Amino acid sequence: MMVSIGEVLIDFIAVEEGNLKNVKAFEKHPGGAPANVAVGLSRLGVDSALVSKVGDDPFGDFLLERLHDEGVKTFVARDPERHTGIVFVQLIGARPEFILYDGVAYFNMGGEDFPDDVLESAELVHFGSVLFAREPSRSALFEALRDLKGKVPLSYDVNIRPDLWRGREDEMLGDIERALKLADIVKLGDGELAYLEENGINLEDFDFRLVAITKGAGGSELLSCGSRVHVPAYDVEPLDTTGAGDAFMAALLAGLHYSNLLGNGVLREDDLERLGRFANLIAALSTTQRGAWSVPKIENVALMREFRELHQRSRR
Ligand code: ATP
């Protein structure tokens, strides 16, 4: 089972394009990057679980119900004090911008909310940066990751939300660097990569098994042990790119699972190309649906070349 750790929340997505100041109505969607990845994995046929925290409120009930409907196993605590996280999302040219609300349940995760036995027996553990922005979730997540390092492959989506770190950018960069040292698989956007480099953080200084750099309509680049490939994007008309990065992440991890490449074997260029094609395909298809839970189900992609060729590696 692949286990994601982190925020599950309500995305209130503006129903019309434009500045939040002028938007009149919002549609309620389930979201939160690690939850999106957990749902994407489940839709792609991989046994998947989420470790998180929601409030003891109707939004928490809604999210737990939706995760259950999606077949994601939930290790999601209920917070008697804090409400479920919410985000307002504004679409400008199908690109999302966010206002994330503070003081919510997922930032209140403590050591007791991390199920050690589930995490230690996972096929892979996936996490992002949002929980690092506040205590106690920050210390609890770092402690869990340190315990898991070397026992379970760790996957990290850098996913920078500067809004959460205003005036504390140095602290944010320090936490990202600590997380990069723990990660085996890393995914980040090209803008995030440029930002890290401008601030003296270079990926060559770390020891990753796999790095994926996403470039929106420019596709993605995959790097592993000296190999580097660029994989072009699929040509689609995006309706809503919210969660495209998470769809890409889920498909990359599912691709590793289906090609039996999660262990220690070397990832060759042809492996990287197959993984990148599958991840780009799933991410492109996700942009044609609204909301962040927009990964197509495995039965709708099982016959596609990009999925079938993932299995070639295990047969060689
Ligand atoms: P997020 O906005 O979810 O944080 P991100 O910035 O990490 O995502 P992007 O680079 O925007 O992610 O997109 C991830 C992947 O989705 C790309 O690598 C690409 O494969 C696919 N994708 C995104 N936008 C488009 C597009 N306009 N056309 C085709 N594919 C796209």
String of DSSP letters for 186-218: EEEEHHHHHHHHHTT--GGGS--SEEEEE-GGG
Q: In the predicted model, is pLDDT for residue 314 greater than 60?
A: no
Lowest average pLDDT, out of 26-30, 94-98, 129-133, 250-254, goes to: 94-98
Indicate which residue's Cα is closest to atom 20 of ligand 1.
Answer: 280
C-beta separation of 25 from 231 below 8 A? no
Cis peptide before 30 (omega within 30 of 0): no
C-beta separation of 20 from 50 below 8 A? no
Its pTM surpasses 0.90? yes
Ligand 1 midpoint to CA 245 (Å): 5
Question: Where does ligand 1 bind, in terms of residues with CB under 6 Å?
Answer: 189, 214-217, 219-220, 233-234, 236, 238, 241, 243-246, 248, 280, 283-284, 287
* DSSP H or E stretch at residue 248: helix 244-258
Please tell me what DSSP assigns to residue 157: E
Scored b (16 or more CB within 10 A) or e, 152-167 reads bbbbbbbbbbeebbee
Q: At what angle do helices 269-286 and 244-258 cross, to 10 degrees?
A: 140
Task: Render pLDDT for 156-190 as a digit per residue (tens, 0 to 9).
Answer: 999 999 889 999 999 999 999 999 999 999 999 99
Coil/strand/helix, residue 267: coil
Task: Render pLDDT for 28-57 as a digit per residue (tens, 0 to 9).
Answer: 999 999 999 999 999 999 999 999 999 999
Domain range 2-315, CATH class: alpha beta
Ligand 1 midpoint to CA 121 (Å): 31
C-beta separation of 137 from 37 below 8 A? no
C-beta separation of 39 from 13 below 8 A? no
Please tell me what DSSP assigns to residue 241: -
